[in-house]
Amino acid sequence: MVTAAPSDATSNADILRSAFEILNTRDITPLREWWTDATVERFPQRTCRGSEEIARYFDETFAALPDFHIEIVCIAEQGHDVFVHWHMTGTHTGGAFNGIEATGRAVALDGIDHFVMRDGKVVSNFVVFDQMQFARQIGLMPPDGTRADRAVKSAFNARSRLLSRLRRR
Rounded to an integer, what distance in angstroms lies between the CA atom of residue 51 and that of residue 41? 10
Structure confidence at residue 1 as a pLDDT band (50, 70, 90):
very low
Structure confidence at residue 8 as a pLDDT band (50, 70, 90):
low
User: What's the residue count for the chain?
Assistant: 169
**So what's the architecture of 12-138 in CATH?**
Roll (3.10)
Stretch 85-93: mean pLDDT, rounded? 97
What are the backbone angles phi and psi of residue 15, rounded to the nearest 5°?
-60, -45
pTM score, two decimals? Answer: 0.85
Structure confidence at residue 4 as a pLDDT band (50, 70, 90):
very low
Q: What average pLDDT is seen over the chain?
A: 93
Stretch 142-167: mean pLDDT, rounded? 93
Q: Judge whether 121 and 39 are in contact, CB under 8 Å.
A: yes
Rounded to an integer, what distance in angstroms lies between the CA atom of residue 58 and that of residue 156? 33
Between residues 84 and 2, the one the model is more confident about = 84
Q: Is the pLDDT of residue 7 over 60?
A: no
